[in-house]
Structure 1
Amino acid sequence: MKSYWQYKFSGNIFFGKEALNELEHIYKKYAQKKTLIITDQGIKASGILQKLEDKLISYAIPYEIYDEAKPEPTNLDVEEVLKSYSNKDIYVVIGLGGGSCIDLAKMVAFMLNTDQPLDTFYHHTIDFEVTPIIAIPTTAGTGSEVTGVAVVNDLDKHLKVGISSEKIKPQFAILDPLLTLGMPPRVTACSGIDALVHAIEAFTAKDYSNFAEDYVADFRGATMMSDLFAEKAIQLITGSLEEAVKNGQNYEARHDMLLGSLLAGLAFSNAGTSMAHAAAYAVAGRAPSPHGEITGLMMPYAIKYNFSSNLSKFIELHRICIKESKGLDKNVEIFNYFIDLLKKINLPTKLQEIGVLRDDLPAMAKETMGITRLMNINPRQMDEKDLLAVFEMAFD
């Protein structure tokens, strides 16, 4: 069993009101270096893109804009950006927006420096220098601004895959709660619940000491460090998510959601995520739902299955979330708590609500088991039969 743990940190993090001003100091390092901004039409319409442009203009930084990023970036999206900008001497890439914009920026940043096709890096390491990345999130959810993972939906292979490398962790993450004030309720709910799932799965992950001494992977289980980040993230998100969904102009709620998302990212980028996220990859192939909606739906059922395997952590999770116990079994209470939370923020609680068919469940169980980098982190050992039972419980 492993007797020591490792913790990998991200680059520089700037958090708080008007943190965008830090760009002035960052660009002293990148003076006159052409920048590619990757964002979407919603960010453009909100006026946030213009705020960034004004900053770059005032620093005399040449820049290009790609503002057609879409939810769940595809391999074709990456190819489209590269076709337009690979010959324009891009030295810095900014991801401005939600996790999809930042993930697309990450992929473009490393693909600018290689002639290999994108799918090469589904299974091979990135062993070359990557164009510097600045991540500026406008949603509170993915934690992509501090992780070395970019998720791509490969339309040719009918596959959603996470490209993982320390080299694609952004060098700079700028988190300003003011930029999240205009986030719509549904986006707030889907991204926010995903951040909560990140924190819970990191907190309850298999402990690092339960892995073999020679185990090497991007995700290595829970440690004291990941527990500190994850526990605080759970406190912040459970205390602010419902208010942020109902009253998006509440700065305090937005602040706590963004900070919670950041801490959850710092936790899961080391400890890992597990069953709910692994299942989400399989579900995504059958339901046109946002990633966060799916992970949030699966979380109560994952907790119910895993509860007894990591009892001290799940009892602590119960303590954090439930202020007034009704004296029921703690597993039942925490399950009911998350089902109620999903309903309060208008998210589904059953797979059939999002279009999954009962006949899909066996194949989903098989596919989920195949995502070993996540299932290895699950605190309770599972097989296809166990997963099928969880999917059936979540179905109706």
Structure 2
Amino acid sequence: MGALSNLRVVDLTQVLAGPYCTMLLADMGADVVKVERPGGDMIRSNPPFVDDPEEEAYGGYFQSVNRGKKSIELNLGDEADREDFLSLVETADVVVENYRAGTMEKYDLGYETLTEYNPQLIYSSIRGFGDPRTGETYRQGQPSFDLIAQALGGVMETTGQPDGPPTKTGPGVGDLFTATLNCIGILAAVNHREQTGEGQYVDTGMYDSMISFTERAIYQQSYHGEAPTRRGNSHPTLFPYDAFETDDGYAVIAAFNDRHWKELCDVMDREDLAEEYPTTPERLENRDALRVELEKWAIEQTNDELVSSLEGRVPAAPVQTTEEIFADEHVHARDMLVPVEQPGADTDVEIAGNPIKMTETPPKPRGRAPLLDEHRDELLGEEAETSADD
């Protein structure tokens, strides 16, 4: 039993942002019903596959963000399917969708309509530019993806090397961070309903979320009136707080304060640097020259040697590959790699576990992702029984 095992979520989302949000809810025990359009979520066919895409039900992309959900295939333009959808809404706690603004209204299934069937419903949307109900703008209705959100929200302008082009982050933070915020909003709305009996509309826009995600860039612009730009792996107000090439890879050193700097200089056998640049402002003023000294020292160390020499004194870590992550005992001890069945393959696969840890109701992936329409009989049978009881 998960912490959210009392909740049913009707999930109309597809691709990444919405499914990640509802995956978090499913990991915490919610009964998530994935309502898929005819043919299913468009990412079902996306790679990677273990072996044979023709035999396997879906690829790793779909598996990773749809684990532990139930699936039913419905065409909301079909009257019978529309009625089946509304029967699911009547018993739901939450509906989540990530269509463009106005899409659900085309089917007369927008928030206002659904609350006629379920007055306490929490209706949540993830859109590129938010919903008019919470703040109307000229961008609503435009399509958006992670790349668009990162570009507009300042993430790309502040990511990458100073002499390089604007660069997106590797993971799709425009989707994932927005999804996480949306999940928080849903849980806040659930708490509000517990206190008042009122449902409400929860809206999280990707562009809005990226402005929050850019963190210091916003206040730097406000305080200094200058647009922050790319700094590579360095930090605008700390040094050394950067990545350095070693003999066999890269490692990061995060000498956050003056004590860390002194310890680092001691390990390097460069007490002269500690004495000459004892404070952060002095180090920042001379960061280029100091970086050269650190680079000379780091390149003579292996990753293991550098990190071991600083252990317990200065925060440091190797820049790991995914192969190294899979070999890390810490990752396994924290249940951050979870085996699940891959339908159509004769082996299990591993997906990322849930980083939210709880002592009494630990979140966890609750089985593989569903086959398309796998739970139709179970779901519509439940609704038929409920209608008969009424």
Please report the TM-score for the alignment, with normalisation by the length of structure 2: 0.26
Please report the TM-score for the alignment, with normalisation by the length of structure 1: 0.26
Name which structure has the greater RCO, CA cutoff 8 Å, separation 6+. Answer: 2
Greater helix share, 1 or 2?
1
